[in-house]
Amino acid sequence: MAAGERQAPDPLRRDLARYPWVHDIRARFADVDNLGHINNVTVVAYYEDARATFNNQLLGLWREAGSAKDGPFHFVVAQSRVDYLAEAHYPANYQVGVGIGRIGRSSVNYLAGFFHEGRCLGLCDAVLVHRTAGTTTPIPPDRRAILEKMAFRSEGH
């Protein structure tokens, strides 16, 4: 692949059933742009809300500071890429599927798909970095184990 070329997303990413965790979104009228579509920036916020809810439910991201055995932690977004595949409209209910891709020493690749009635409208890849006490730190084994269980299902169902 030449410099600057992008590899097409894995076609399996367009299948909601392959994401191990799903977040429901109800579009609001405030999400609509002047063309009557859900605004592209709002779609990015949907992905962010799904990731934050995922982290809170599975990893306790918003629990009381100091509740984790190795102290408070959080993830920060280091990189995010969004592919818009189709228009989204109001009113409607949507789903954001979330799965985990590659897990590094201190970073995690979150894979997400944006769906309406089973149809994939977009994809988002985000790299989040694990931080404790204001510095990048390795992902602890207990958190890594949870993330590994939430791997995107690229093989079988």
What gap in Å lies between CA 54 and CA 105, rounded to an integer? 20
CA atoms within 13 A on the CB side of 32: 12
> Which regions of 33-134 does DSSP assign to beta strands (E)?
73-84, 93-103, 107-116, 119-132
Q: Which fold would CATH assign to domain 26-149?
A: Thiol Ester Dehydrase; Chain A (3.10.129)
Interval 4-44: pLDDT, tens: 666 777 899 999 999 999 999 999 999 999 988 999 999 99
Question: Quick one: pLDDT at residue 38?
Answer: 97
The pTM score is 0.88
64 CB contacts (<8 Å, ≥6 apart)?
A: none
Structure tokens at 20: 């191990």
Question: Quick one: pLDDT at residue 155?
Answer: 74
Query: Side chain identity at 86, as an amino acid letter?
Result: A
Instruction: Look at 101 and 155; give whichever has higher pLDDT.
Output: 101
Question: Quick one: pLDDT at residue 2?
Answer: 63
